[in-house]
Chains A and B, each alone.
Chain A
């Protein structure tokens, strides 16, 4: 099968969907001729014109709010939010407006929009361009949240997101834009709420999101050499969450580590660990461990920044400890 980059996969998904549905348009900063700083959208404006690939001023709340209104009135807008860190700027539009309109209107209005943005540290972009803030929006009922872990997932999830009748936020790890994966030529969609077992195993479950799936895969490789069989699961969408697959896996392996690049405090790892202890407690043979971004603003200095994110090595150490019963009990 052909291999394309995650960036190409996103571009293809948008182009295919825009060809299919004329109500779709895309707006954001430097999305047209510039094709975004990551060049993800290059070529789209040539095909669809500036009427549908709309360059906006640097006004994140403004154009996100416009997308909400457009979505309520027959359009299917895709918002390009250049950095996930700018989520802070659009929170009122996403949280107080987009997420609640369907509910507040008793089901009369709805907001079929997609907000594409990114996440991920170690690009030496410092504290305001390196955050992974997906937990913030996962907390809000009414929003859906997808976390592609490869080009394949990025395309299938984005196409599903565009067709969804609710506001969906997609976080792409900006370090993965040039990563290649097998992506079929034919059309496919990835349903929301279906986790993917990337690698089966019987000894420990590694639940990983986005680029952390790669981290988990690498850790699983190393562990396999020690005879430890790790199962790597990618929830793919955090809202809705395929709890069943996660719980079934943990019941099988009796051990779990949750890996996510958001901050550890009150984050995704906490939520998933909590669900495991709620639903698989009597199957656990070790405390559920969490690997997440360190609870510090992301530092600029490369050796410091590298300390803040989960790595395969750290995951291997954690998994080994769980297998050997070397974890401190409780907290």
Chain B
């Protein structure tokens, strides 16, 4: 008959233990009260008693490597023959699994600690399971790896999912292909409607009075940039880069610098060096009814469309919350509504 020695649960918040020392080697005779190993937990170092007389068959856990609570760390056999049979661990016994199952007794007996353990933990078989349920395992990573992961937008869960051994180090991060780098940004969404009547009238007049003949999109971009500048507290010197896109073939697709300040004449001037702080997507010239930017959008994105009766503009603002606060986002939309309802504000 073989006995499993398992990693004991020595504390309420412990999910792993580390063998710091094997006190017996495979093949050694061992008595019930002999110490088989020293285990280090988050609290202390404990000695583990064999609990059975017999022969050490197999030492499974490696020194220094965290072993989840409840996992087998060693096998004890009753006789030398049996020890040889199980010298490679329980695997050879798979053929006679019933044998193992029938004869295996799970055992964990940290010296002196048993009486102090709360009752659910005292039954070793249920202890570890309970632990896992109550407490999702904390991901172990070096402080530097954790800091860099945050910086690079790497979710450490990705490394867990790949089965990379913990604790994670910087080298583990370096091995992660860029595809697993995901933004951690949380995207918020705000929607708003505003009447088109004044805006359209104004736009129609401008078209007749200027040679630039700005599209609705350009004109809106000017208002959006103005609203953005005001909402973010920017002055006339700060640069607002806006990317205007329409999904029509041949439609607008340009990066504009300060479209609110440059006048409708210069609005087409593109400055690729200007960082884009806002994306304006104009769906109003297409038959599209809705568009949601993907989770990886790191820049606030405003979707603009008309209602089917064309009486209202519909705006949806998607923004990463660590990029724009909700207060500023709401402010942006409020400012925009004012401007759409009365484009003179913009000119003033």
Contact = CB atoms under 8 A, between A and B. Distances in A.
Interface stretch (A103-111, A170-178, A266-274, A277-285): A277-285
Interface residues of A, number: 15
B142 A328 contact: no
A327 interface: yes
Contacts of B66: 328-329
Contacts of A283: 143-144, 147
Interface stretch (B169-177, B214-222, B242-250): B169-177
Contacts of A49: none
A303 interface: no
A57 interface: no
Residue in A281, A285, A329, A331 whose Cβ sees the most chain B Cβ within 10 Å: A285
Contacts of A284: 142-144
Nearest to A326: B64
Nearest to A321: B64
B105 interface: no
Contact of B143 (A282, A326, A328, A331): A282
Given A325-B172, A329-B166, A282 B64 contact: no
Given A325-B171, A331-B42, A285 B142 contact: yes
A330 B42 contact: yes
A327 B40 contact: no
B64 A328 contact: yes
B186 interface: no
Nearest to B170: A285
Size category of the binding interface on chain B: 20 to 34
Interface in B105-155: 140, 142-145, 147
A327 B166 CA distance: 10
Contact of A281 (B143, B166, B170): B143
B65 interface: yes
A201 B92 CA distance: 47
Interface in A273-310: 281-286
Contacts of B171: 285, 325
B64 A286 contact: no
6 contacts: A284-B143, A286-B142, A325-B167, A325-B169, A325-B171, A327-B64
Interface of A: 254, 281-286, 321, 325-331
Given A281-B143, A282-B144, A285-B169, 14 more contacts: A282-B143, A285-B143, A285-B144, A285-B171, A325-B165, A325-B169, A325-B171, A326-B65, A327-B64, A328-B66, A329-B18, A329-B166, A330-B42, A331-B40
